[in-house]
Chain A
Amino acid sequence: MSEKILEAPDTVQNPVEQATTELKQRFPESLSDETRPGYEGLIVSPDKLREVATTLRDELGFNYLSSVTGVDLIDDNKMEVVYHIYSIEKGGGPIVLKAQVDRDNPVVPSLVPVWPGADFQEREAWDLLGIRFDGHPDLRRILTWDGFHGHPLRKDWKEPFYEEDHKPFGSRWPGGGVRRAEELNPYGKNVQYPPGWVPTGDEYEVETDLYTGLTIKKDETIDLKTEQVTVNIGPQHPSTHGVFRMVVTLDGETIVALKPVMGYLHRNHEKIGERNTFIQNIPYTDRLDYICSMSNNLGYVLAVEKLLGSEVPERAEWLRILNVELTRICNHLWALGFLLNDLGALQTPMLYFYIERELILDFFEALSGSRMMCNYMRFGGVAYDLPDDVRGQPTLQFLDELVNERLPRALEQGNELMTGNEIVQARSIGVGYLSPEDAIAYSTAGPVLRASGIPYDVRRAEPYSYYEHLDFDVAVRYNGDIYDRYLIRLDEMYQSLRIIRQVLPYLKETEGAPIISGKPQYALRVPKGGEAYARVENPKGELGFYVTAKPKGSNPERYHVRAPSFINLTALEKMTVGHKVADLVAILGSIDIVLGEVDR
């Protein structure tokens, strides 16, 4: 490895430490340091939380609330809410605020008045952990449904097919037995009811709360007897990119109000993740944002590596970057194809973009064994080295041709056909506008944030892997409409190609070098315990993993995913109100959501 790469970047005064000292001076009474070993951040007394947050936002420059995580501290009989707050201008690490409340009556003041982006995340914490947020405008269940029994992520809540708290389950390992859970359940399927519950018929009215917010106004003008209508779009609708549902109130064709309803693909990622051992979670992360499995792997692996303290060999880092950037191209090709589909260019652009995507998938299949669910990253490295050949061509030659010829040509073609297209421009310029202030306040991330003129990219703001050594630009556009969100994805693909071109020589140079540090291990134990938060710049935005573990633990105690698609949706209503219902489809397409990640 060349000397240049190892040079550390200039150390500047840490903005986090600065802000922390400042905060402590201002609120000496209500802030205290985290004392648990391996944990970081500040414990805030809940009654001062909103003031501390406002000070951080307005005076200290920490204006971006990235993640809100609820944690059940059953041993201390407490509930905790963890806030990761970043500075858009200064970059760098987070200020971590923690509010701890009584477990039996957990009430935390809502941060929605400070950051509207906390909306869905707080609803999620209420839904899954039963933490109530005082002052939240619309605290309803979000991933499960109204009337669901209990709060599933609480540590003492058990699912119908519950076996043990942690894997590996005694019924399967080491004996290798099979357990047919259905046959042990009296109903023969994955259900359970509260003891003594009998159906009463009230179950049919589960969505009353949803509709009461959407008041229907009548126009009282004489001779004009118009009325607003409420329309459900989804969950089965070709435009919603999966099983997403929007309840919109329309005045004619104009959108007056919109409420997203999600949870139709809520696959209990976090509950299963807390039962799993660390390594068992890697294939599950594939299925979060199932178009970008490689990048999801990386985020999770980085978080656990922080806990384990593992080192990653150089070749593994280059392989990681190669795959993550290929994934970005893969995703953006997909997203653009679908966006144009949503704009009415039915299928043709999709087909053009997917031909090249298939090439990348072929590479992934040759490399990891699977087209989509790669399960490729490991703690301290990657699972496999480059294959000898892909589609009958030596791998490096294949990659070279892909990156230097096929993909640039495809992007050029797409650019030529679409960017100047009159219909595309007419449908997208000025539609779905999101102002830079709102983009930050609503915690949007990724292309949505950068298309609104905020040059914030985790690869540059808080570099991970070898990104700080690579030469690339953070793509940014300034108009915040659908057209810019389209263009920024094209820009990002060009930047990804630029990165991969820099990585390829290193792959050649490090041929035969180790790809994982130490021996591959399966029963990993965290030496000291503690918490770790790692975030990566996923194609959809900032993907964060919050993992805590007990000392010598082999399972995550709390496992939370900061899903970019989910949080980007908070801004959907802001972008759509006032537009026509046909634009709604295009605006949703321009956010680029994947339901596996929205609902987890």
Chain B
Amino acid sequence: MSATSSGAGATSPEIVVPDELANNVVITNIAKLLDPVYNWSRRNSVWPMVFGLACCAIEMICTAASRYDLARFGMEVFRATPRQSDLMIVSGTVTKKMVPTIVRLYNQMPEPRYVMAMGACASGGGPFKEGYNVVDGIDKFIPVDVYVPGCPPTPQALINGLIALQEKIDQQSIATVPWYRKGDPTAEMVPVPVLGPDLVDLRQLEIIEREAAKAKAETAETAESAA
């Protein structure tokens, strides 16, 4: 367990450990031990949400199946409800029609929550980026922790992404993680986008109004010049 080596294992000069117990006893203090234990338990029980969007979901299922066996990482517990899951694997093309649902699901996940953009589509639109109904990357709406390239990523690539997520978890400290603090910025609700004539990100209302005014001025101008 590499994670613990940073905190535990250092011997204290005041306490003498009998030789016969030297291999079994580690002298440490709670502050040093807390982070490794906290992260060790979290990194090995990341529960993903059952959330297949497109082609990548098939590879995600293959990863969970017997050959690649996600259970080795403690991640085989796919939960159907966001309330019980730690990780949202956005596995496939995010369409405009689907994005309100995804944001709502993200909002329903409890902290600490992680998001993985699996495949080209979720990361940046992929081959369908130019389409009128496709969101060019889920990171335009919710924060993403790990990007996994590929179209679709092979199970090995997905496992690599999950290991990257474990490394990210290892670097967090219970003393500084935001989700035990008041006014946690990461726990904020992302405003759910609305389907109008096109997808409306409610954080962009100002820009939409500005552009509308600009378009109005332009049409007035062309009408004037035509007259």
Contact = CB atoms under 8 A, between A and B. Distances in A.
Interface in A353-376: 354-355, 358, 361, 371-373
Contacts of B13: none
B125 A287 contact: no
A515 to B, nearest CB: 25
A283 interface: yes
Query: From DSSP, what is the main secondary structure of chain A's interface residues?
Result: loop
Contacts of A242: 52-54, 57
Contacts of A204: 194
A287 B199 contact: no
Interface stretch (A190-198, A395-403, A531-539): A190-198
B132 A160 contact: yes
Interface string A270-294: 0110010000000110010011000
Contacts of A361: 62
A194 B208 CA distance: 11
Contacts of A206: 195
Interface residues of B, number: 56
B198 A193 contact: yes
Contacts of A55: none
Interface string B91-135: 011011110010001000000000000000000010111111111
Given A206-B195, A354-B67, A190 B200 contact: no
A351 B66 contact: yes
Contact of A196 (B152, B204, B216): B216
Contact of B134 (A196, A199, A268): A268
B140 interface: yes
B152 A236 contact: no
B215 A196 contact: yes
A355 B105 contact: no
A264 B208 contact: no
Contact of B51 (A236, A334, A596): A236
A380 B193 CA distance: 46
B59 A372 contact: yes
Nearest to A596: B54
A354 B66 contact: yes
Interface in B184-227: 194-201, 204-205, 207-209, 211-212, 215-216, 218-219
A188 B127 CA distance: 18
A243 to B, nearest CB: 6
Contacts of A358: 62, 67
A267 B92 CA distance: 11
Interface stretch (A117-125, A179-187, A448-456): A179-187
Contacts of A284: 127
Nearest to B198: A191
Contacts of A599: 95
A373 B55 contact: yes
A371 B154 contact: yes
A193 to B, nearest CB: 6
B52 A193 contact: no
A275 B130 contact: yes
Contact of A373 (B152, B207, B216): B152
B128 A272 contact: yes
Interface string A283-309: 110010011000000000000000000
A207 B93 CA distance: 23
Interface in A212-265: 235-238, 241-243, 263-265
B96 to A, nearest CB: 8
Interface stretch (A142-150, A407-415, A428-436, A574-582): A142-150
A267 B53 contact: no
Contact of A189 (B51, B140, B154, B195): B140
A266 interface: yes
A189 B101 contact: no
A89 interface: no
A193 B199 CA distance: 9
A199 B208 contact: yes
A152 B65 contact: no
A159 interface: yes
A524 interface: no
A361 B205 CA distance: 47
Which of A159, A243, A595 is the most central at the interface, judged by chain B CB atoms within 10 Å of its CB?
A243
Q: Which of B105, B196, B218 has the most chain A CB atoms inside 10 A of its CB? A: B196
Contact of A265 (B53, B105, B194, B211): B53
Contacts of B55: 287, 290, 372-373, 596
A268 B135 CA distance: 12
Contacts of A267: 54, 93, 95, 128, 131, 133-134
A23 interface: no
A290 B54 contact: yes
A504 interface: no
Nearest to A143: B133
A418 interface: no
Contact of B140 (A149, A188, A203, A238): A188
B136 A182 contact: yes
B142 interface: no
A204 B193 CA distance: 10
A27 interface: no
A425 B206 CA distance: 59
Nearest to A268: B131
A190 B207 contact: no
Given A181-B129, A242-B54, A265-B98, A189 B135 contact: yes
B80 interface: yes
B152 A265 contact: no
B198 A160 contact: yes
B148 interface: no
A190 B134 contact: yes
B133 A199 contact: no
A159 B51 CA distance: 28
Nearest to B215: A195
A114 interface: no
The 7 closest A-B pairs by CB, nearest first: A268-B131, A149-B197, A290-B55, A159-B132, A203-B196, A195-B215, A267-B128
Given A189-B201, A242-B54, A275-B130, 7 more contacts: A147-B195, A190-B134, A195-B218, A236-B105, A243-B54, A265-B54, A290-B58
28 contacts: A145-B195, A148-B195, A181-B130, A187-B207, A192-B198, A193-B196, A193-B198, A196-B212, A199-B200, A203-B196, A238-B50, A242-B57, A243-B101, A263-B95, A264-B97, A265-B53, A267-B95, A267-B128, A267-B134, A268-B131, A268-B134, A272-B130, A284-B127, A354-B62, A355-B67, A361-B62, A372-B59, A372-B152
